[in-house]
Structure 1
Amino acid sequence: MTITRSDQDKGTLPAAAAGQDRPELHKAIEEIVESGFLGVSLRVHDERGEWVGSAGVAELGGTAKPPVNGHARIGSNTKTFTATLVLQLVAEGKLELDTSAADYLPEFGLDRRITVRMLLQHTSGLFNFTGEVYDDGTIVHGIPVPYSTTGKEWVDNRFHTYRPEELVRLALSKPARFEPGTGWSYANTNYVLARLLIEKVTGRSLAEEMQRLILGPLGLSGTVVPDASPEIPAPHAHIYYRHEEDGQHKTIDITRYNPSWVSTGGDMISTTRDLHTFISALVGGKLLPAALLAEMCTPHATGIPNMDYGLGVFVQKTDCGGTVITHNGGNVGSATLMYSTPDGIKTLTAVLNWVDDAAMSIATAFPNAQQKLVNKVFCGKQADPARPAH
C-alpha cells in the first residue's frame, strides 16, 4: 500500500492499513502495548520505503489509536537539536568548541576548564539540576521532578515557570561530580548552558535560532520550541501520571504542563515525521560541514554497554553488530525514539505513552520496547546467523 503525504499530515492513517505490508512491525508495536504501554506510534524508513502505524489508545478510556503523526514532547531528543545548533554556530565562527564556556557566560563563575565541547559531551562534571544518583546509591535531589518522593510536589507545581539561569545557579550550588573532562555523566545542566550560549552569542532567542538554522530550512512545521508554554498542538496522544495523595492513588492527565522545569534538557515538541526528517538530514550531511558532523558522531566512552556519546548523540552498537546514531527522549508519561544508520538512509522514529509514576513502573518494559524495535528495523535481514537478534 502506498501511504500518501496528505494521509500522514492528517495523522489519521489507519494503523492496520499502514501495516499491511509489514506485519512484523505491526506485531512489534502491539506487543509493546501489551507489555504495559497505553499507545505506540512508529515510523520506519528503509529500503522498502516508508511505513507508519500505531497501536493501543490515544487516551485512557478511549478506543481511538494514537495519531500516526501526532505531536509529542520529545524529551532529550531536544539535546540533538541543540547540539546541532551549537555546531552550526561553530561553523559560522560565532563559537569555538574548545574555548572555555566561561568566556561566553562569565556571569556564572563556571570552572574555566569546562569547554563548550564538554557541555555537549556531558564531560563537564556539573551537577544535574533534575537530580543525581551516585555510584554508591546516594540520591541528591535538585528541583522537584516526577520521580522524587511521591511525585506530588511536581504535580502541584507542574505549571510553575523556571528560568534557565535559575536552573544553572541551582546546579552550581551543588558539588561537581568530577573534575572537568575526567569522566562522563549525563546532566541536563549542560544543555541549559548550551541554550544560554546560543542566546548570548547570537543576541536572539533559542526558538529564533532554531527556526533560522534547522526548522525553517528543513520545513519542520510540526516542531515547537515551547519555552514555558504548557500547550501542545493537536493531534496528540494523552499522557498520565499516577501519584499518592491523602493515602490514595490518583491518576491525572498531564498532557499539558510547563516544560521549563527541564528546559533545553528536554522541552521540545515534534512528530515522528519531523524527527525522521531531522535525523536523516543531520547524519546525511545536510546541516553540518563534514568535519563537524564527524566530531559530533565521534564516540566518547560513557560506561554504558554498547553505547557511547558524541556531541548530542549516542553512538550505539546493535545486537547484530551494526552502528546507529541515536538519541531518545524520556519524559514524564511519554518517550520518543530517534535512530538512524550513519548514512541517514534507514531511520526509526517512535512515540510511546503510558501512565507514569514516581516509582518508574515502566522502567523494565521501556528498554525492552526499545530493543524490540531496533532489532526489528536494524537487525532484520542483516542479522548475523551466528548472533541472532533477541
Structure 2
Amino acid sequence: MTFSDQDRPELQKIIEEVVDSGITGLTLRVHDERGEWVGSAGVRELGETAKPPADGHVRIGSNTKTFTATVVLRLVAEGVIKLDDPADDHLPGFGLDRRITVRMLLQHTSGVFNFTGEYYDDGTFAPGIPATTAGQEWVDGRFTTYLPEELVRLALSKPARFAPGTDWSYSNTNYVLLRLLIEKVTGRPVAEELRRLVLGPLGLSGTVAPTTQPEIPEPYAHAYYRYEEAGEQKIVDVTRQNPSWISSGGDMISTTQDLHTFISALLGGKLLPAPLLAEMCTPHPVAGYGLGVFVQEAGENGGTVITHNGGMAGHGALMYSTPDGRKTLTATLNYVDDATLSLAEAFQKATQRLVEEVFGGGQTAPTG
C-alpha cells in the first residue's frame, strides 16, 4: 500500500537498484515538501514473490541507541542524572574508570572495549562474545540469553582502547552501560522507561524493546544468515533469535512509520528541551557523532542530516532527518547477513544514493 498522491519513479528506481546489489527486500518511507511516499522492492521471504510489507516490523539494530540516548536525556531533563556525572556514581560494582562520564557513554568516547568485538586501526580484530562475526558459533547460540551485566563484565575484562575522553570509538558496551544506568536510577526496566518517556507519548505502537523474547510481531520480512558448516555454505532464517546478545546496543524492533514519527518528533523539539537537543546534535570531531546520533552532510546541496542506521543479523533500518524534523527518510531492509559483512559496501553506496536523492535533490554525482 502506497500513501502517495504523486509518483516518485526516481525513488522506486533507487530502491530496485539496492535490491539488485544483493539486498533481499527494502521498504522506503519519505516525508518531504511533496508529501509522503512509501515504496518497496525485493521480497519478504527467499523463494517467494511477495514484496516486503509496507509497514513491516524489523529489528532496527543500532537505531536502538537513539531511543536509549533520548531516555537518558529525558532523565537529565528531569534532574535524575547529569551529563557530566561519573558513570561509576550510578553503577558502582563494575569498577568503572572514574573519568568516564554519562556523556562519554552517549558519545562513544569512554574507550571501553566493544563486547561484540573490536576492530583496530592496524586491521586486527579482537573477538568478544560470539556475535554475527562468528559464523556457525553465532548461529548455534542465537537463542542464548546473555545478561547485560555479563556483556559489560566481559568488555571490562579487556584493555580499554584509550583513556576516557581522549578519542572516539564506537562501542556497543557504552549503551549496555546506559541501559543499566537507566534501570539503576529509575528502579524500572528499560522497556518500561522507553514506554513512559518515548513510545507512549508518541503512540509508537509498532515499536518494542524485547529483552530475551525471540519473536517479532507480524507483519515482517524475513532475516537470513549465511555461514559455513563442515565446508558447506548454508543459509538459515534468523528472524527469530534472542536479541540479548546485542542488548541495548541494538535489540529494538520498529517500523518505517514509527521511526519517522520518532525522529521527526525528537528533532522537532517534542521530546527534549532545546538545550539538551542541541547537545545531542553537537558532533564529536572524529566521527561526527553527537549523543546517540550521527550528524552528517548529505552531499552537495544536501545540507546537514541527523541520522542513525542499524543492522542486526539480516535485518536493518535507516533513519535520516533534517535538523528541524520536517523532512525524513526511514527504511527497513532484510538481507542475507554473514560473518564477513559482505553486503556492507553495497549497502553504504545505496544508502548514500538515497540520501542524496531525498535531501540533495539528486544533484550529487554518486561517488565511486
Length-normalised TM-score, structure 2: 0.97
Partner of 1:366, secondary structure, is helix
Q: Return the offset for 1:66.
A: 0.1
* Aligned position for 2:295: 315
1:75 Cα deviation after fit: 0.2
* Aligned mate of 1:328, from 298, 309, 312: 309
Distance 2:275 2:327 in 1: 22
> Is this contact kept in 2: 1:19–1:25, CA < 8 A?
no
**TM superposition shift of 1:388:** 4.5
Runs of 5+ in structure 2 lacking a partner?
A: none
Secondary structure at the aligned position of 1:51 is classed as strand
Q: Deviations over 1:192-226 (max 9, x none)?
A: 00000100000001011000010000000000000
**How far off is 1:61 after superposition?**
0.4
**1:6-43 CA deviation, whole Å, 9 max, x = no partner?**
xxxxxxx1x6x859611111111111111111101000
1:310 counterpart letter in structure 2: G
Question: Quick one: percent identity of the two aligned structures?
Answer: 72
Deviations 1:252-295 (A, max 9, x none): 10000000000000000000000000000001100000000000
Name which of 295, 307, 311 aligns with 2:279: 295
Structure 2 matches for 1:7-46, cutoff 5 A?
13=1, 21-46=7-32
Letter in 2 for 1:350: A
Q: Distance in 1 between matches of 2:208 and 2:71?
A: 15
Gaps of 5+ in 1: 1-12
1:54 and 2:40 are equivalent in the alignment? yes
User: Partner residue of 1:8?
Assistant: none
Kept in 1: contact 2:4–2:36 (CA 8 A)? no
| Contact residue 41 and residue 350 of structure 1 kept, 8 A | yes
2:61 maps to 1:81: no
Question: Quick one: distance in 2 between partners of 1:206 and 1:179?
Answer: 28
Alignment partner, residue 284 of structure 1: 268
Pick one of 101, 126, 129 that aligns with 2:112: 126
1:47 Cα offset (Å): 0.1
Structure 1 residue 330: Cα displacement: 1.4
RMSD: 1.3
Deviation at 1:352, TM superposition (A): 1.5
Q: Give the 3 Å change call, closer, same or farther, for CA 142–269 of structure 1 in structure 2.
A: same
Q: Distance in 1 between matches of 2:149 and 2:66?
A: 21
Cα distance between partner residues in 1 of 2:242 and 2:67: 20
The CA distance in 1 between the partners of 2:323 and 2:123, in whole Å, is 36
1:246, distance to aligned residue in structure 2 (A): 1.3
User: What are the residue-to-residue correspondences of 1:1-390 with 2, within 5 Å?
Assistant: 13=1, 21-148=7-134, 151-302=135-286, 304=287, 308-321=288-301, 322-380=303-361, 383=363, 388=365
2-structure distance, mates of 1:361, 1:174: 27
3-state DSSP class of the match of 2:84?
A: coil
Secondary structure (helix, strand or coil) at the match of 2:306 reads strand
Contact 1:97 1:116 in 2 (8 A): yes
Cα gap change, 1:124/1:48 in structure 2, threshold over 3 Å: closer, same or farther?
A: same
Shift in CA distance, 255/290, structure 1 to aligned 2, threshold 3 Å: same
Structure 2 residue identity aligned to 1:279: I
Structure 2 CA distance for aligned equivalents of residues 19 and 350 of structure 1: 19
Taking a change above 3 Å as real, the CA distance of residues 380 and 141 of structure 1, as seen in their structure-2 partners, is: same
Distance 1:26 1:19, change over 3 A: farther
Checking the alignment, whether the CA contact within 8 Å between 1:319 and 1:389 is kept in structure 2 is: no
Superposed displacement of residue 139, structure 1: 1.0
Greater CA deviation, 245-254 or 283-292? 245-254
Q: Which runs of 4+ in 1 moved over 2 A?
A: 17-20, 387-390
Secondary structure at 1:107 match in 2: coil
**Distance in 1 between residues matched to 2:211 and 2:52, nearest whole Å:** 25
